[in-house]
Structure 1
Amino acid sequence: MVKNIAIARNDFPILNEKINGEPLTYLDNAATTQKPQAVIDALTHYYEHDNANIHRGVYTLAERATEGYEGVRQHVAKFIHAATDEVIFTRGTTTSLNWVALGFASQVLQAGDEIIITVMEHHSNLVPWQQAAQRAGVKLRYVEINEQGELDLAQYADLLSAKTKIVAFTHVSNVLGTINPVKQMTKMAHDVGAYVVVDGAQAVGHFKVDMQDLDCDFYAFSGHKVYGPTGIGVLYGKRELLTLMNPVEFGGEMINLVQRQITDFKPAPEKFEAGTMPIAQAIGLGAALAYIEAIGWPAIEAHEQELVNAAYAQLAAIEGLTIYGPPAGPTRSALITFNLNGVHPHDVATVLDTQGVAVRAGHHCAQPLMQALGVSATTRASFGLYNNQADVDRLCAALVETKEFFQV
């Protein structure tokens, strides 16, 4: 059933909340999105009617749970244009990236190799590669940003060499909103024989991603950032690389045969999904993807682009406010990070909360990027499909009142 994005916010019960007596203006979607009633209903239905452990049982509840869980895997594969056996369920983007850094990097890194990441990475796509580099004794190198907050592709080209074994970067910066040219960067890396790992946490809920088109080797995202539950994530990996990659957690369900001294593992994806997986969360993820599809990418992308363009223009008009990242346009996703001169971001967020406006303040788990920007923290407003112009107006009005409160 096709949905109208103009009234989509009516599908999200939490948006009826009042915060400090004011309507909730939720602008922290880059941290987590709110959940539509369809997702809440899917979770409730699973627990009320289908709750059982998957794969192991031959009774009706177990069969229904297994069918639902594996059906979502097929749904995810179609959603990102991948093969079903290339989709692994994890706890989230962080887990997915750690599994690649632990289970894959250890298989391919050798002395003299180099790993390239970028200065705009979230810690979840930075610290695992620091650790991988230290374990393997290889060099970790960084791509810097230019004045507009975009990656310096000329420097990236200079860094790439026959020594480059792994390149890891974010599809969309969680601080700058920069949309990186994944397809171009992947080809450049492949041309020197490197593997490519992409953090898609800030991309998948905002525009269509296609694994065949991007051609990256691994891609990770989280359910809770695409209007689904927490505790469920996806790791895409090319089939031949998942065969090479080792699991990093061990237990039931992932094995063909266990003997006293050796174990034979199942092929991917089962060999990576040890123990009882987040079954209900997977069911909820499937409902979230169906909800997105009912609205459609053209409507979501056009709506969010219009919203961020309006927000950028209105924020830029506030005296003493500094915006970070590229200008509004095709290289910026649906978030804006800024600072109000003379007021700490935490104070900005606190005052905004008194007016019902929820934003994120701090270093956003991107401290090397904060250092590159010359700040210790920023304030971030991030948008989702249910936000509207009224939310933008409330944000800007609250910021003007914040300036008046602090007399800056």
Structure 2
Amino acid sequence: MTALPLDTDLIRAEFPAFREPSLDGWAFFENAGGSYTSQQVLGRLEHYYRANKVQPYGFYPASREAGAAMDLAHRRMAQALNVGMDWIHFGPSTSGNTYALGHAFAGWLKPGDAVVVTNQDHEANGGAWRRLADRGVVIREWQVDPVTGHLDPAALDKLLDSKVRAVCFPHASNIVGEINPVHEIVQKAKSYGAVTVVDGVSYAPHGLPDLLELGCDIYLFSAYKVYGPHQGVMAVRPSLASELPNQGH
């Protein structure tokens, strides 16, 4: 297969920020700040605020169109991640989604259950799990090599036993940039009956995660870091989602 050349002029033409006079001469490398959106995203947002900002799934045309647009968003995201539509949940941000998820796990776990976290995470995505200690959950830290920043899968073996209910770790570290072997880690956790929660915020902007291939139970990332609106995407295995207590309606 012959690789097609990357047409940078064509790509740049899809992003109005490149034509914004106030941004001329600037390049932004602040990944935490997200990314400028494409014209397609801006067009959909403009249409929604102009025509469909109503209660969706009603009987009148604008409401039906709003519901159809929501369904399309779930369907397209599910296709991108290679899962069913019932996996996909949108929220305000990955930090917000993780916070709500942590609250749900607090009602699902029992005192004495253990959760594995790492010190390779962003605090905003690891702190929600560490706070479960206030509910009697035992927190076990999978530590990186202090010299290389490497998260050694062999070190995880010493932390796993029948008390571990969840293993929470990053797909890629936003500190050292290491891409972790998600499938290998998932298999280790599964052998002890633990669920896996993968923070994909720093990986999703650089690769398209295939969740069925990775095998994880929960995967989170931020749409605004992949040229989308300021929302977080949380994919949850439906069988697990049905066990977790509701956090809203």
**Global fold match (TM > 0.5):** yes
Deviations 1:192-215, CA, capped at 9 Å, x for gaps? 111111111122221111111111
Of stretches 202-211 and 41-50 in structure 1, the one that deviates more from structure 2 is 41-50
Aligned equivalents of 2:214, 2:50: Cα separation in 1? 40
- The structural deviation recorded for 1:17 is 4.8
**Counterpart position of 1:42:** 44
Cα gap change, 1:111 to 1:202, in 2 (>3 Å): same
8 Å contact kept, 1:16–1:23: no
Tell whether the 8 Å contact from 1:16 to 1:24 is kept in structure 2 after alignment: no
Structure 2: gaps of 5 or more residues? none
Match of 2:176 in 1: 176
8 Å Cα contact 1:17/1:24 also seen in 2: no
Distance 1:35 1:211 in 2: 24
Please list the CA deviations of residues 43-65 of structure 1 after superposition, one character each: whole Å capped at 9, or x if unmatched: 1122233332212x210000001
User: Would you say 1:11 and 2:10 are equivalent positions?
Assistant: no
1:190 and 2:193 matched: no
Residue 279 of structure 1: aligned partner: none
Which residue does 1:404 correspond to in 2?
none
How many pairs does the alignment contain? 244
CA distance in 1, matches of 2:242, 2:5: 40
Describe the superposition over 1:219-247 as per-residue Cα deviations: whole angstroms up to 9, x where unpaired. Answer: 111111110111x2221111111111111
* Distance across 2 between alignment mates of 1:22 and 1:194: 50
Report the counterpart of residue 53 of structure 1 in structure 2. Answer: 55
- Looking at structure 2, the residues matched to 54 and 39 of structure 1 have their Cα atoms a distance apart, in angstroms, of 20
Give the letter for the 1:203 counterpart: Y
- Name 1:357's counterpart in structure 2: none
Give 4+ residue runs of structure 1 displaced > 3 Å after superposition.
2-5, 15-19
Describe the SS at the equivalent of 1:25. Answer: coil
CA gap 1:3/1:134 in 2 versus in 1, 3 angstroms? farther
- Partners of 2:240 and 2:8 lie apart in 1 by 42
Give the corresponding residue for 1:89.
90
Deviation at 1:42, TM superposition (A): 1.7
Identify the residue that residue 66 of structure 1 maps to in structure 2.
67
Distance 1:195 1:116 in 2: 10
User: Quick one: structure 1 residues 49 and 199, their matched pair in 2 at CA, closer, same or farther if it must change by over 3 Å?
Assistant: same
> Residue 129 of structure 2 aligns to a residue in which SS?
helix
Task: Tell me the amino acid that sits aligned with residue 131 of structure 2.
Answer: Q
Q: Kindly tell me: are residues 195 and 159 of structure 1, through their superposed partners in 2, closer, same or farther at Cα, counting changes over 3 Å?
A: same
Whether the 8 Å CA contact 2:115–2:166 is kept in 1: the answer is: yes
After superposition, give the CA deviation of every residue in 1:148-181 in whole Å (9 maximum; x if it has no partner).
2220222212111222111101111122211111
Q: Hey, what's the Cα distance between the residues in 2 that align with 1:139 and 1:237?
A: 23
The residue number in structure 1 matching 2:213 is 213
Contact 1:17–1:23 (Cα < 8 Å) also in 2:
no
The 8 Å contact of residues 35 and 226 in structure 2, kept in 1 or not, is answered as: yes
Task: Give per-residue Cα distances to partners, 1:103-152, cap 9 Å, x unaligned.
Answer: 13421x223221111101111222111222221x1221111112322202
Counterpart for residue 115 of structure 1: 115
Tell me what 2:80 maps to: 79
Q: TM-score, normalised by structure 1?
A: 0.56
Q: Contact 1:80 / 1:210 at 8 angstroms: preserved in 2?
A: yes
SS at match of 2:69: helix
TM-score, L = length of structure 2:
0.90
Instruction: Return the alpha-carbon distance in structure 1 between the equivalents of residues 52 and 5 of structure 2.
Output: 27
Contact 1:106–1:132 at 8 Å: present in 2 too?
no
Q: Secondary structure at the match of 1:196?
A: strand
- Listed one character per residue, the Cα deviations across residues 270-319 of structure 1 (whole Å, up to 9, x for unaligned) are xxxxxxxxxxxxxxxxxxxxxxxxxxxxxxxxxxxxxxxxxxxxxxxxxx
Aligned pairs (5 A) from 1:16-31? 16-17=19-20, 23-31=25-33
Partner Cα distance (1:3, 1:46) in 2? 35
Task: For structure 1, list consecutive stretches of 5 or more residues without a partner in the other structure.
Answer: 251-408
**How many Å apart are 1:3 and its aligned residue?**
10
Amino acid at match of 1:75: R
- Contact residue 104 and residue 244 of structure 1 kept, 8 A: no
Q: Give the structure 2 partner of residue 144 of structure 1.
A: 143
The AA in structure 2 aligned to 1:161 is D
Q: Identity percentage over the alignment?
A: 30
How much does 1:22 deviate? 6.6
Aligned mates of 2:244, 2:138 — CA distance in 1: 21
How far apart are 1:95 and its partner, in Å?
2.0
- The alpha carbon displacement at 1:30 in A equals 4.1
Task: Give me the whole-angstrom Cα distance separating, in 2, the residues matched to 1:222 and 1:82.
Answer: 17
